[in-house]
Structure 1
């Protein structure tokens, strides 16, 4: 039997069932669950419930801005519960084997902070695309004036669409690890892009939060390195705390991986292995989400995307269709062409509003995740320091 299966057959049961098995051999066969055991079991249930809710998302909801926000909300709730667990067991954190496990958790948390910074940069990049969408909408939306858009308005919209196409293509190349691509000028015959339009990536580079050599793919792999379910003896030695640490490590790994999958990031990569025994109550929904997101990334139209966020796909699709319409426009516009312009503008407005409403709350959540991780690590180190001083 593989090691993970052996571990899972033991770990997958609740902390209470493990303690009840121990009680069979104790002088008190009527062992009742302590509040500490109930707290650990409640944490496992909360994680399972959160991921069951996330995994219930339909195809149109998965990887959308509301879904990503729900994912971060789940992380924050789980992290807060985990923080309470550590506080209630702070005297255990400096003892072996818990000291090594907590140190590894804090190391992974530090790596997650870089991911948060990169994600906030990616959010800013999407915000720039949103602004270009707004230019196109303002140029071509003549619903209030009841007249056909002029050639000048079409030229303004075309320039914004060219900038948007270049910006998204730059991001795709940067996501694939080609950092220098963000500083080159290009021309694309399909979209009639010209060398007169400089890459938007050039302007965002001065405020980039991570170094040019930083890789989202390598960072996620580092967070997941040597992450294995605790052995039975480790569970007993830590009174079940090792299971909670492994659970929170797994949640941290999945959330950072999903963020990198959804949001534009430098050198994105989704090749990460989740070594999670399926006997955990939360394992099935988490692994199901991993499989669904991985499958989404393999779809032909998403394979080279700069981010799997559903709204990014909608921006790209709307911009492509509007570009084709603008390129084929002849003046004066026919009634059919005017109607087509109106419909395309309505589609762009819908995407623009979704992005506008979702980006600011998402950025605030990412910032909150960053601060919670920092606070949790500071508190954990403080607990360990005080315990060592007491000894």
Structure 2
């Protein structure tokens, strides 16, 4: 894995010049350097700036995953929030460049090969919506776990010199922690106790016309099977298969395709790669139905953001192979802390032990309660923020796709008028 923490150095300098830089130099050598006055030249500069910003975002994420003062923060709730913030920023910049109409320089989006790149991207976006739904279910599942933590904490808190732990408190705490242990089991090993409620991203739960479900093929479902975008995924849905579908045929554009699209093929490929990685990271971290991290993931090294994303991907895969994470229902750091603290407390809490407990054992129990309280508090705020971000991404994808399809339709109509003239 390449070293990512390079303070004071120019990031990714070893990867040389970007595709767009090379293309611009080639054009400049032909027209004497006046290329920047053309719309295509402006796109080159904006797309290259976009790629640089994407590289900076993921370089920061790669650095924060290993150089935090509090330890490795990879796949913690704060790290995931930073990742999703980065995706939201990328989405906004992507839309700003792709649908920019200033100075009449908007390209004809319906012309090949750009129409194919955009159609594929919107198809991936639709599939990403299902991942958002599954992550929302996973967040709900973790809230149920937190309720069991609160029961155990409430049962064990308040003991001390004057109020030592009693057998009733131990039994209540053990039951809560044992129930939590069952919920931790992967659904392949135990029945998945998911409450598949039809929860809406909008708290009111009202379905609006723009929120009607679109099927995996991108077409609207039949009227008899219409569902809200924000309902839970079906029982047969697979996160692993969905990720495979998102990453399927995700190939870097060739040089002639870059030139034919004024560089916009690079823009679409960059955004597609970012979307794919973020969805994959969410599935890796959050409990999802039929999780799987074996999706093929390969990026050309000549993109400035490829090194940091590849490094993060490799690090997450390595994390999933650790002995204590292999059968985990999610790689989120807080899940690991919950599992570890719950297991340690259960080992300490013996209902058959003599009461009152010794002072040393009381201290050990209260130390474990303190650790559980910390992770419980982190989940209380962190899960709410994560859910809001996933909702924002969901709505941003829907809005961007609607805007894109509208632009494609208008561009296609203009092409037909030009042909008639």
8 Å contact kept, 1:12–1:278: no
Q: 1:119 aligns with which of 135, 150, 159?
A: 135
Q: Aligned runs of 1:1-391 on 2, under 5 Å?
A: 13-26=18-31, 28-29=32-33, 31-32=35-36, 34-56=41-63, 57-58=65-66, 60-88=72-100, 90-142=106-158, 146-169=162-185, 172-173=186-187, 176=188, 181-182=191-192, 201=193, 204-207=195-198, 209-327=232-350, 329-390=353-414, 391=417
Farther-moved stretch of structure 1 (151-160 vs 233-242):
151-160
Mapped to 2, the partners of 1:330 and 1:269 lie a distance apart of 45
8 Å contact kept, 2:61–2:79: yes
* 1:173-217 superposed Cα distances (whole Å, 9 cap, x missing partner): 2xx4x7x823xxxxxxxxxxxxxxxxxx16x13448111110000
Mapped to 2, the partners of 1:332 and 1:108 lie a distance apart of 60
8 Å contact kept, 2:287–2:330: yes
Residue 186 of structure 1: aligned partner? none
8 Å contact kept, 1:93–1:99: yes
Aligned to 2:58, the other structure's residue is in SS state helix
Which stretches in structure 1 are left out of the alignment for 5+ residues? 1-9, 183-200
Kindly report the root-mean-square deviation, in angstroms, between the aligned alpha carbons of the 2 structures: 2.0
**Alignment length, in residue pairs?**
356
Mapped to 2, the partners of 1:12 and 1:314 lie a distance apart of 43
Mapped to 1, the partners of 2:19 and 2:260 lie a distance apart of 16
Please report the TM-score for the alignment, with normalisation by the length of structure 2.
0.81
Which stretches in structure 2 are left out of the alignment for 5+ residues? 1-14, 199-230
8 Å contact kept, 2:36–2:42: no
1:31 shift after superposition: 4.2
- Give the structure with the higher percent helix: 1
Mapped to 1, the partners of 2:88 and 2:161 lie a distance apart of 47
Aligned to 1:356, the other structure's residue is in SS state helix
8 Å contact kept, 2:51–2:305: yes
Please report the TM-score for the alignment, with normalisation by the length of structure 1.
0.87
* 1:8-34 superposed Cα distances (whole Å, 9 cap, x missing partner): xx99624243122122122x2454474
Mapped to 1, the partners of 2:152 and 2:143 lie a distance apart of 15
Mapped to 1, the partners of 2:410 and 2:262 lie a distance apart of 21
8 Å contact kept, 2:62–2:311: yes
1:287 shift after superposition: 0.1
Residue 185 of structure 1: aligned partner? none
Mapped to 1, the partners of 2:275 and 2:131 lie a distance apart of 11
Residue 217 of structure 2: aligned partner? none
* 1:79-119 superposed Cα distances (whole Å, 9 cap, x missing partner): 11001111116542111110011000000000000000000
Mapped to 1, the partners of 2:277 and 2:265 lie a distance apart of 18
Pair 77,206 (structure 1): closer, same or farther in 2 beyond 3 Å? closer
8 Å contact kept, 2:159–2:165: no
